[in-house]
């Protein structure tokens, strides 16, 4: 769909449904040579405040802690080792919040800092607790400003980057839109910094392999995920039925113009049905602890007919996980297509491979469930042959 009029109609329809939006702002937008860019933060605060006064709920996911800390410590290069990065974040985060606090105060708005690790969101109780807290803040008309808790996080518990974190927050808070503000105006077919003829793609209805490859060649400022992690984020968010926009955060009135329905940046269209919040949590927040390979019949039963995973369809099990763990399901060809929470541990599932449900008790000496993964705990993570979106 390239017709501008049509695109404007699509935008209007999608934006009309938005009451709550997550706005992710990258380090490349918030910082410049001299450290934090106070002018940009002020502008952002003004735009978010206007949206709030219009009745929208806005949650900010803000990078900038490490970059700000680096500048304060006169580091020319992003540190490569973790303790130095964590120390830079510890220095930069309060500075970042101070700038936000001052800027929002100008518009009679208060801010709240929320620092999270992936571990917080993988634990269902803490996940729900974070949601309740952010809901209270939104009811109080306070701006939640979320960042990864860089100072304490260990590598295995990292979100990866704030693009990924913003997808999880969009799911956590049931937002109807994710806006990713970056220092590039949107998604281009090649790196606009290196190619004068690079073309901005205004609307994406389906992310294909070609786009993913093109995105890999568009790096980000400060060595973070770049366009590639934005495209992966768009895949997750749109698969769960939520639209996402990538737009230039350095452009004045960017949020205002987006909410007016202007044809700017790149809009990624959502899949038709919206996925429930719990299923999003299973598919996009939890880390898979292992893999179950299933036969063609099970792929069809799960993918096409929405059935549970039974022992009879299981070919192989990889990993060592306990009851309740999230695992990925792959087809006989090795292509991931679903993710779910298991009713048995890895050792027992290995014993159950290929058995009928009436053989479970005899084989294990006990039986909790007929299903290895019940369909209520099973989420399809791909809608095509291109592969799944969970990493």
Closest CB to ligand GLU among residues 162, 228: 162
| 147 binds ligand GLU per the rule CB under 6 A | yes
| 66 binds ligand GLU per the rule CB under 6 A | yes
**Ranges within 70-89 binding ligand GLU (CB under 6 A):** 89
| 182 binds ligand GLU per the rule CB under 6 A | no
| 27 binds ligand GLU per the rule CB under 6 A | yes
Q: Which stretch binds ligand GLU (CB under 6 A): 57-65, 107-115, 210-218, 311-319?
A: 57-65
| 103 binds ligand GLU per the rule CB under 6 A | no
| 64 binds ligand GLU per the rule CB under 6 A | yes
Closest CB to ligand GLU among residues 115, 388: 115
> Tokens at residue 131, please?
């949601």
Q: Which of 49, 103, 162, 285 binds ligand GLU (CB under 6 A)?
A: 162
Closest CB to ligand GLU among residues 57, 161: 161
| 116 binds ligand GLU per the rule CB under 6 A | no
| 255 binds ligand GLU per the rule CB under 6 A | no
User: In angstroms, what is the minimal distance from the CB of 100 to ligand GLU?
Assistant: 12
User: Strand pairing of 291-294 and 314-318?
Assistant: antiparallel
| 148 binds ligand GLU per the rule CB under 6 A | yes
| 348 binds ligand GLU per the rule CB under 6 A | no
Closest CB to ligand GLU among residues 31, 239: 31
Question: Which stretches of the chain bind ligand GLU, using CB under 6 A?
Answer: 26-27, 63-67, 89, 147-148, 150, 161-162, 224-225
């Amino acid at each position: 769909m390239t017709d501008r009029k049509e695109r404007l109609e699509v935008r209007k329809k999608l934006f009309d449904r938005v009451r709550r939006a997550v706005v992710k702002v990258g380090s490349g937008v918030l910082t410049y040579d001299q450290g934090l860019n106070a002018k940009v933060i002020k502008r952002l605060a003004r735009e978010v405040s206007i949206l709030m006064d219009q009745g929208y709920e806005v949650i900010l996911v803000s990078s900038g802690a490490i970059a700000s800390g680096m500048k304060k410590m006169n580091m020319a290069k992003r540190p490569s080792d973790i303790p130095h990065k964590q120390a830079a974040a510890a220095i930069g985060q309060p500075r970042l919040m101070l700038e936000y606090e001052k800027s929002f105060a100008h518009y009679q708005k208060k801010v709240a800092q929320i620092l999270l690790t992936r571990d917080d969101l993988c634990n269902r109780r803490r996940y729900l607790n974070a949601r309740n807290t952010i809901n209270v803040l939104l009811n109080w008309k306070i701006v939640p400003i979320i960042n990864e808790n860089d100072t304490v996080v260990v590598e295995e518990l990292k979100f990866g980057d704030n693009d990924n974190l913003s997808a999880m927050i969009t799911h956590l808070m049931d937002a109807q839109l994710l806006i990713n503000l970056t220092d590039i105006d949107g998604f281009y077919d090649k790196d606009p910094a290196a190619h004068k003829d690079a073309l901005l793609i205004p609307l994406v209805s389906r992310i294909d392999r070609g786009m993913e490859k093109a995105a890999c060649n568009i790096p980000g400022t400060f060595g973070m995920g770049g366009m590639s992690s934005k495209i992966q984020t768009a895949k997750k968010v749109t698969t769960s039925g939520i639209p996402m926009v990538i737009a230039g955060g350095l452009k004045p009135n960017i949020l205002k113009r987006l909410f007016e329905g202007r044809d700017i940046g790149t809009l990624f269209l959502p899949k038709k049905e919206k996925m429930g919040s719990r299923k999003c949590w299973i598919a996009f927040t939890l880390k898979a602890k292992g893999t179950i390979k299933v036969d063609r019949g099970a792929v069809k039963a799960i993918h096409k007919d929405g059935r549970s995973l039974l022992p009879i369809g299981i070919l192989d099990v990889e990993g060592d996980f306990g009851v309740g763990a999230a695992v990925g399901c792959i087809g006989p060809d090795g292509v991931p297509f679903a993710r779910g929470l298991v009713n048995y541990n890895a050792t027992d599932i290995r014993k159950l491979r290929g058995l009928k449900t009436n053989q479970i008790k005899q084989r294990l000496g006990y039986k909790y469930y007929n299903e290895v993964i019940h369909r209520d705990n099973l989420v399809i993570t791909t809608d095509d042959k291109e592969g799944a979106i969970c990493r």
